[in-house]
Homo-oligomer: A and B are copies of this chain.
Amino acid sequence: MTVVLSPLKESISDFLQPAYYSKIVVLVDNNTRKYCYPVLKSLLPKHLLITVEAGEQHKNLTTCEKIWQEMTRAQLDRHALMINLGGGVIGDMGGFCAATYKRGIDFIQIPTTLLSQVDASVGGKLGIDFQGFKNHLGVFTQPKNVFIDASFLQTLPYVEMRSGFAEIVKHCLIADANKWEEIRKKDFETQNWPDLITHSVEIKKKVVVQDPTEKGLRKILNFGHTIGHAVETYFLSKPPKQRLLHGEAIAAGMVMETYIAYRKKMVDLQTLEQVEEFIFSVFGKVAVTNADLPTIIALAQQDKKNRGGELRFSLLDNLGSCAYDMKVTDAEIRQAAAYYVG
């Protein structure tokens, strides 16, 4: 897997010129079709375009069936190429469809959101939601290439940028204390995005190469995500206006999980306060109440990282360092949530 950070015009042309594909299919949602596809279209030979509805609520088997049907109707063979142009939903779902069509065709990811550029597009985790559980069905398959073009971020709304920033914060906290120092001393508006994208991709690649299928080390990338995913899933059942973006939920998860690490004496009070202060300053506080907690805790128990009913977390054991497979009790989650709710 190669990750290339450069204008699409260069990366895609360099890739396609020597490659032989029998057909090319591009997957977009109605947003990327409007804002991003015009750029890609002019760089591609004849291809099939598949459009799906935008949004996490469409990342499911029903949409996959639609995609597989269009691939079948176009008589794509095993030597076809799929290009996923969009955020995490398009990359995860399109990658899953490509990886399972005729037992797998090549695909490339062109992430168009900050979140997918610094996280989802790298690492080969593909999948869809099922019965309310995030990424419940999926596979690990590396894309042929990931092409990141930072110019797509120009049309990205502020809240989407901020959502992606949560994963950048995570990468600093689990793997690079110096970078953490650097970002926390700047305002959100003055961050150096191309530099941070490169930094995040490098950290993620380094971890994923060592442990592609998450048997060990890769689990550190889940810091903030056990509680964060539960919070995110819980808010999916709320009215659209109250829903959370992924990064907003992960930001809340990082605060709660740092509190657990503090209670386990893995980090000191100063670290907890530093993490909390910066995250609150950028993301504010998610509107979780005491009444929400039982459901959120139940959802965390369904997390893919658990083992035989025991909850396992990835927890900071210092700034820039993370431990994994740490046993956490229901009581500890409750304490953390109570601390967060305040």
On A, residues with C-beta under 8 Å from B are 22-23, 61, 65, 68-69, 72, 75, 77-79, 99-104, 125-127, 130-131, 133, 135-140, 213-214, 301-302, 304-309
Q: Assess the A101–B68 pair: CB atoms within 8 A.
A: no
Given A22-B308, A69-B131, does the pair A138, B61 have CB atoms closer than 8 Å? no
Cα A316 to Cα B210 with chains together (Å)? 43
- Are the C-beta atoms of A137 and B101 separated by less than 8 Å? yes
Nearest-Cβ distance from residue A306 to partner chain B, whole angstroms: 5
Looking at the assembled complex, report how far the CB atom of A238 sits from the nearest CB atom of chain B, in whole angstroms. Answer: 22
Some 27 contacts from A to B, beta carbons below 8 A apart, are A22-B307, A22-B308, A22-B309, A23-B308, A61-B61, A72-B130, A72-B131, A72-B133, A72-B136, A75-B301, A75-B302, A77-B304, A77-B306, A77-B307, A77-B309, A78-B304, A78-B305, A100-B138, A101-B136, A101-B137, A103-B125, A103-B135, A103-B213, A103-B214, A104-B140, A104-B213, A139-B139
CB distance from A37 to the nearest CB of B (A): 25
Taking CB atoms, residues of chain B closer than 8 Å to A22 are: 307-309
Sorted nearest first, the 8 A-B pairs with minimum C-beta distance are A22-B308, A102-B304, A103-B138, A100-B137, A77-B306, A79-B307, A72-B131, A103-B140
Which B residues are in CB contact (< 8 Å) with A140?
103-104
Q: Can you add 10 more A-B contacts, CB < 8 Å, to A77-B307, A104-B140?
A: A22-B307, A22-B309, A23-B308, A72-B136, A77-B308, A79-B307, A100-B100, A101-B136, A103-B139, A104-B139
Q: Which residues of B contact A133 (CB under 8 A)?
A: 72
The answer on a CB contact under 8 Å between A99 and B139 is yes
Contact pick for A103, options B77, B78, B304, CB 8 Å:
B304
Measured in the bound complex, the distance between the Cα atoms of B42 and A245 in whole Å is 49
The smallest C-beta distance from A97 to any residue of chain B, in angstroms, reads 9
Residues of B within 8 A of A69 (CB): 131
Residue of B nearest to A215 (CB): B78
Docked Cα-Cα span, A20 to B102, in Å, equals: 33
Residues of B within 8 A of A101 (CB): 136-137
Q: Which residues of B contact A213 (CB under 8 A)?
A: 103-104
Contacts of A103 in B (CB 8 A): 125-127, 135, 138-140, 213-214, 304
